[in-house]
Amino acid sequence: MILLTGATGKTGSETAKALAKRGVKARALVRDAAKAQVLQAAGLELAVGDVADTDSVRRALAGVERLLILLPNSQRQVELEQQLVDLAKAAGVRHVVKMSSMEAVASASTPIPQGHWAVEEYIRASGMAWTMVKPNFFMQNFLASAKSIKENHSFSLPMGDGRTAMADARDIGAVAAEVLAGRGHEGRSYEITGPELLSFHDVAARFSEVLGARIAYVPADPAAYLGILKRVLNEWHANAVSQLFREIAEGPAPHVTDTFRRLLGREPIPLAQFIRDHIAAFR
Ligand SMILES: NC(=O)c1ccc[n+]([C@@H]2O[C@H](COP(=O)([O-])OP(=O)(O)OC[C@H]3O[C@@H](n4cnc5c(N)ncnc54)[C@H](OP(=O)(O)O)[C@@H]3O)[C@@H](O)[C@H]2O)c1
């Protein structure tokens, strides 16, 4: 049995869909069964609980051989993910798959990638088999700018002239599903990007082409943007996201990888396709 955490989120839901499409049996640990009805309809088994509640995690882990660790960024992410590793080991899980990030390296200097790296190291020391799924910036992040793109024909982010090799969450989920259901992925770290290295000016050009109207990228002042983040996120999270964005703005730019093509045997989704597939949100 495979257990997914984070299965109602952006990449976890795509992992669940990809597993269901492959006809693979899986269980999802979810906080809200109503929110997870679509997963149940796709054939997943639900275990209702919270990763912070060790009893519910122990129940969800019964009979599980492979576990996807996927949690949102928070001050407690490292502690909760390491606790999941300990509970998985005690429950006899053989293979842990971690949703990490491409920026998570030993020399990472900002809190979110540092946290991912700390959990990666903890998993590698656990004695269980492991695979790290390390995506670049999600295309789905632009859905947070959809209202502005639709109403003002512009979006504003503090990325300056920075570039990323953004990936679609559908492709990231497909890789996670392959790692969980396929063979030969133990001991591997997979850096996942989309097909192109793009600046945010390039992103605006892609939106303009697909939407048939000029969409402008307005580089935001990092300090002013931090103020905006603080209105919607707590202090730790706002500062952590702001530092991550500064890293993207100041580079170095990541490299485009061929991981997706090697593992799935098809091309990753380009940004123009992502925009077309979400056109109602942007136009
Ligand atoms: N965004 C990017 O560009 C990017 C790039 C690389 C890596 N990443 C990494 O990807 C991860 C986030 O992935 P995502 O965007 O797919 O996640 P997401 O959409 O934010 O979803 C988070 C998931 O975790 C679940 N969850 C949260 N707290 C929980 C708890 N206490 N117990 C059980 N479930 C809980 C949520 O359930 P509910 O539905 O109940 O809230 C939801 O299913 C982060 O670790 C991030 O660092 C992101």
| pLDDT value of residue 203 | 98
**How many whole angstroms from 34 Cα to the centroid of ligand 1?**
18
Question: pLDDT tens digit string along 11-24?
Answer: 999 999 999 999 99
pLDDT at 249 exceeding the cut of 90: yes
- Ligand 1, CB cutoff 6 Å, lining residues: 5-12, 29, 31-32, 35, 50-52, 70-73, 99, 101, 112, 135, 137-138, 141
Quote the CA–CA distance of 227 and 283 in Å, as a whole number. 28
| pLDDT tens per residue across span 85-138 | 999 999 999 999 999 999 999 999 999 999 999 999 999 999 999 999 999 999
Give residue for tokens 């859905």. 143
Q: Kindly list the structural domains of the chain, giving each domain's residue range(s) and its CATH number in brackets, ordered by start.
A: 2-135+169-192+257-266 (3.40.50.720)
pLDDT of residue 55: 98
HEC string for the chain: CEEECCCCCHHHHHHHHHHHHCCCCEEEEECCCCCCHHHHHCCCEEEECCCCCHHHHHHHCCCCCEEEECCCCCCCHHHHHHHHHHHHHHCCCCEEEEECCCCCCCCCCCHHHHHHHHHHHHHHCCCCEEEEEEECCEHHHHHHHHHHHHHHCEEEECCCCCEECCECHHHHHHHHHHHHHCCCCCCEEEEECCCCCEEHHHHHHHHHHHHCCCCEEEECCHHHHHHHHHHHCCHHHHHHHHHHHHHHHHCCCCCCCCHHHHHHCCCCCCHHHHHHHCHHHHC
- Cα of 6 from ligand 1 centre, angstroms: 5
Euclidean distance between CA atoms 62 and 58, whole angstroms: 7
Give residue 75's pLDDT.
98
CB 20 within 8 A of CB 44: yes
Q: Give the pLDDT band (50/70/90) at residue 37.
A: very high
pLDDT at residue 274 tops 90: yes
Q: For ligand 1, what atom is nearest to the CA of residue 71?
A: 24
pLDDT of 35 > 90? The answer is yes
CA of 230 to the centre of ligand 1 (A): 19
Rounded CA-CA distance 261/125 in Å is: 30
Q: Rounded to the nearest whole angstrom, what is the distance from the C-alpha of residue 250 to the centroid of ligand 1?
A: 25
Whole-model pTM above 0.75? Answer: yes
Contact 16, 4 (CB under 8 A): yes
Note the pLDDT of residue 251.
86
Q: What distance, in Å, lies between the first and last C-alpha atoms of the chain?
A: 42
Query: Taking the CB of residue 24, how many other CB atoms lie within 10 A of it?
Result: 17
Query: pLDDT digit string (tens) for 160-208?
Result: 999 999 999 999 999 999 999 999 999 999 999 999 999 999 999 999 9
For the CA of 8, the nearest atom of ligand 1: 43
* pLDDT (0 to 100) of residue 87: 98
- What's the mean pLDDT in 30-45? 96
Q: pLDDT category, 50, cuts 50, 70, 90?
A: very high
